[in-house]
Amino acid sequence: MDLSWLGNFTKPFSSLFNPPAERLGNWLGRRKPRLHVHPVLTQSIWCIASQGTPNNPVNEMMQVVFWADVNHDDDKQTLVITDAYPEGTRPQIGMLGHFLIPPHEMVHQQIVAFVQPIRGERGQPFETKFIFVDQFHRKYKTQKIVFKCVGQQPPTPTL
């Protein structure tokens, strides 16, 4: 039985259904890569930052700074990290520069975040997970990192 006529019959349908089917296949076949963040624990600090003058701070924020080695497990895609902030906070000033993580490479990067609300207690270490955001607005959580408080210490009680 000759079915060659079937190809001519389905050709208009294939041009209609192929593009959405290809997009669906790409979407299903692409997974979110795993981001690996290895912080340098001796260089993980936090402090109180403020806008305004020292005598009249207008807006107090939490500043968190650390160095980390960062890589991911996607073989083809370069990730662009566009934001990073501690869990439970909101960025107040954007990250001081995006950074790229090419496939099969580890990047040594300084992460600086200015956030609110202030989650740490002044003078005390602050332990939290960090959230990284990539160019597709996908979020990645780290394991907990301990940040040492530096700078302004709480007032000492007088007897």
Radius of gyration of the chain (CA): 24
> Hey, where are the domains in the chain?
35-149
Dist CA 85 CA 74 (whole Å): 23
What is residue 90's DSSP assignment? Answer: E
Amino acid identity of 139? Answer: K
CATH class of 35-149: mainly beta
pLDDT tens across the length of the chain (159 residues): 666 655 666 566 666 666 676 666 655 556 789 999 999 988 899 999 888 776 776 788 999 999 999 999 999 999 999 999 999 999 998 887 899 999 999 999 999 999 999 999 999 999 999 999 999 999 999 999 999 999 765 555 555
